[in-house]
Amino acid sequence: MARSQSKRIPLPGSERHPVAGAHSVGPVPHDERFEVTVRVRPRSSTASLAASARFAGDHKPAERRYLTREAYAEQHGADPADLKKVEDFARDHGLAVVETSAARRSVFLAGTAAAFSAAFGISIEHYENDGVSYRGRSGALNVPADLAPIIEGVFGIDDRPVARPHFQRAPAAPTAGGTAIARAGGRSYTPAEVGRLYRFPSDADGGGQCIALIELDGGYRNADLKAYFAKLGLPKPKVRTVRVDGARNHPTNADSADGEVMLDIEVAAAVAPKALVAVYFAPNTDKGFLDAITRALHDTTHRPSVISISWGNPEKNWTAQAMRSFDEAFQTAAALGVTICCAAGDAGSGDENPDQLAQFGEQPDGRNHADFPSSSPNVLGCGGTRLSGSGVHIDAESVWNDDAKRSATGGGVSDFFDPPAWQASAEVPASANGDKRRGRGAPDVAGNADPQSGYQVRVDGQDFVIGGTSAVAPLWAGLIALLNQQLGHPVGFLNPLLYGQLVGRHALRDITSGNNGGYKAHKGWDACTGWGSPVGEMLLQALR
């Protein structure tokens, strides 16, 4: 019996709603072609995966046993029988199978809007709102009943932008000899100066490590990298472009996402100058974002040991299937010994900058929101501070909050993820929304993020000072690369150690002053800066 004649049921977690304020302008032309990723279940459960490798828990990094990418694909990738069922279903509906990956648990399909509409029982329409136009759907996807347990998610039918970069440019400041100087309210730093303030291991350079950066727009220019690192007295880093879903390195101007891409590269490479930096460019869609993450995780050419993600959005803007699929990819990272560093957001505990929303005809809802993917329990959530110091001496450090709605560190309590067992000792508060929700608390750690104490970077031939938690994710990624090099093995999933053996080891600088709107800093873990900013040498010593 053809699958098209099988009983259909809604795919759990696939419900979609139009962007607030958007309206349909008509059906997508039947012959419009695009690609879709179908994510399928693993051949073994998460519990089975955890039992097969001592990759997390409170095990010290030296005691952990990680899976190789090849072993993971063989033992925990998708079952070939499941992949074939999805392929048969696709071909029954006139869809082409572009690629199948057991390791990435994905079947990549191509076809027309009419074919996808028939395959998943949906209406596909064009939506418009002030400043944004996208192909979308509403309601749930419908799949044959026997495929529902196999398919975890379907991504790419809806191509709305899913994430925003978490960087902010400081107001224009005078320069002295081409170098940003102190301004009213603070001073700026090179990434290397921030590394010295945080006492990053001085006898490590990241050699032998690969840092992956996930980028959903923008690009970099080699001439800028050459000029920037020459000014720092460092050789130009090795940067490799990896194209995902047709995206490419596409620099345009300094007012674009180029600022994000250059900030990520320059911060990570300045603190780990001998590490290879692999930049995975992907479209800013749920499909592009997920495909970039799984591509980096299962990249057997570059083999990154740490991934930095500086893009995100409030949890309420994601589908349940997307958050679950991303989180399962992050669980895979733990099994492979790959650390995932995610920016916690730049609009305080609300995570909705009203100025940015106004560009799309939207309004903030006045509630507190955790930013995803930093709210995943399987990533290292990176919050932001305001830093003051020189040399190796920190004079002051507090929660970054210049404007709780527009320029402040994200952080809070997840509305989707339950608190992980390793976070029990942190005393995560109930949600500031007053609903008594006790979910996963974010962030886990912090670092300099305030644009008023920001990073000196070069973007499209111009020098700027840029801040935001976007800088903290690659800063921690660079530090992880140094730690991996010094330890001789991956740090891997750091969170259970942060909340367990590392507490009280002086490996992090506790931030006890300030707030991000809905949450206040205090002694110990808090929903503004987590356990605090790094003390690199002490963290290395504690991990040893």
52 is an active site residue: no
- Whole-angstrom CA distances from 93 to 85, 113, 121, 137 are 13, 11, 11, 19
**Confidence bin at 59 (pLDDT 50/70/90):** low
- For 310-335, what is each residue's pLDDT tens digit? 999 999 999 999 999 999 999 999 99
- For 496-518, what is each residue's pLDDT tens digit? 999 999 988 899 999 999 999 99
Q: How far is CA 152 from the centre of its chain?
A: 20
The burial of 21, by beta-carbon neighbours within 10 Å (0-12 exposed, 13-18 middle, 19 or more buried), is given as middle
Contact between residue 376 and residue 404 where contact means Cβ atoms under 8 Å apart: no
pLDDT of residue 357: 85
**Confidence bin at 467 (pLDDT 50/70/90):** very high
Q: What percent of the chain has pLDDT above 70?
A: 93
Instruction: Catalogue all structural domains in the chain, each as residue range(s) with its CATH number.
Output: 3-42+77-155 (no CATH), 164-543 (3.40.50.200)
Q: In degrees rounded to 5, what are phi and psi of residue 300?
A: -85, 0
Say if pTM beats, i.e. exceeds, 0.85: yes
Using DSSP, state whether 389 is helix, strand or coil.
strand
Summarize the confidence of residues 3-30 as an average pLDDT.
Answer: 86
How far apart CA 499 and CA 291 sit, in angstroms, is: 30
Q: In degrees rounded to 5, what are phi and psi of residue 494?
A: -85, -25
Summarize the confidence of residues 13-22 as an average pLDDT.
Answer: 88
Q: Determine which one of 14, 470, 526, 533 is catalytic.
A: 470
- For 209-266, what is each residue's pLDDT tens digit? 999 999 999 999 999 999 999 999 999 999 999 999 999 999 999 999 999 999 999 9
Q: Which residue has the higher pLDDT, 360 or 495?
A: 495
Range in 33-42, 357-366, 527-536 with the lowest mean pLDDT: 357-366
Look at residues 340, 344, 413 and name the one whose alpha carbon lies nearest to residue 167.
Answer: 344
Angle at 204 between CA 201 and CA 208, to 5 degrees: 140
The burial of 177, by beta-carbon neighbours within 10 Å (0-12 exposed, 13-18 middle, 19 or more buried), is given as exposed
Q: Is beta strand 168-169 parallel, antiparallel or unpaired with respect to 462-467? A: antiparallel
Q: 421: how many CB neighbours lie within 10 A of its CB? A: 11
Look at residues 128, 136, 183 and name the one whose alpha carbon lies nearest to residue 157.
Answer: 136
How far apart CA 356 and CA 358 sit, in angstroms, is: 5
Range in 168-182, 194-208, 446-460 with the lowest mean pLDDT: 168-182
Q: Determine which one of 35, 215, 264, 286 is catalytic.
A: 264
Using DSSP, state whether 388 is helix, strand or coil.
strand
Residue 49 clears pLDDT 70, i.e. is over it: no
Q: In degrees rounded to 5, what are phi and psi of residue 340?
A: -110, 120
- For 425-437, what is each residue's pLDDT tens digit? 899 999 999 888 8
pLDDT of residue 297: 98
Residue 357 pairs in a beta bridge with: none
**Confidence bin at 64 (pLDDT 50/70/90):** confident
Q: Tell the residue number behind the tokens 């921030």, with chain if given.
A: 194
**Confidence bin at 182 (pLDDT 50/70/90):** very low
Range in 142-156, 174-188, 193-207, 525-539 with the lowest mean pLDDT: 174-188
87 is an active site residue: no
pLDDT of residue 58: 63
pLDDT of residue 21: 82
Q: Is beta strand 239-243 parallel, antiparallel or unpaired with respect to 276-281? A: parallel
Q: What percent of the chain has pLDDT above 90?
A: 85
Q: How far is CA 229 from the centre of its chain?
A: 25
Write out the H or E segment, with its range, that includes residue 375.
Answer: none
How far apart CA 140 and CA 137 sit, in angstroms, is: 9
Q: Which two tokens stand for residue 66?
A: 């990680």
pLDDT of residue 172: 64
Cα Dmax for the chain: 75
CB hemisphere CA count around 474 (13 angstroms): 36
- For 116-167, what is each residue's pLDDT tens digit? 999 999 999 999 987 679 999 989 999 999 999 999 999 999 999 999 999 9
Average predicted confidence (pLDDT) for the chain: 92
pLDDT of residue 6: 66
pLDDT of residue 459: 98
Look at residues 407, 448, 540 and name the one whose alpha carbon lies nearest to residue 193.
Answer: 448
- Whole-angstrom CA distances from 543 to 268, 426, 507 are 21, 20, 9
* C-alpha torsion 83→88→94→97, nearest 10: 30
Residue 12 clears pLDDT 50, i.e. is over it: yes
Q: Determine which one of 159, 260, 315, 346 is catalytic.
A: 260
- For 258-278, what is each residue's pLDDT tens digit? 999 999 999 999 999 999 999
pLDDT of residue 130: 76
pLDDT of residue 63: 77
Residue 175 clears pLDDT 70, i.e. is over it: no
How far apart CA 278 and CA 299 sit, in angstroms, is: 10
CB hemisphere CA count around 77 (13 angstroms): 22
260 is an active site residue: yes
Q: Which residues contact 357 (CB under 8 A, 6 or more apart)?
A: 363, 364
| Number of residues in the chain | 544
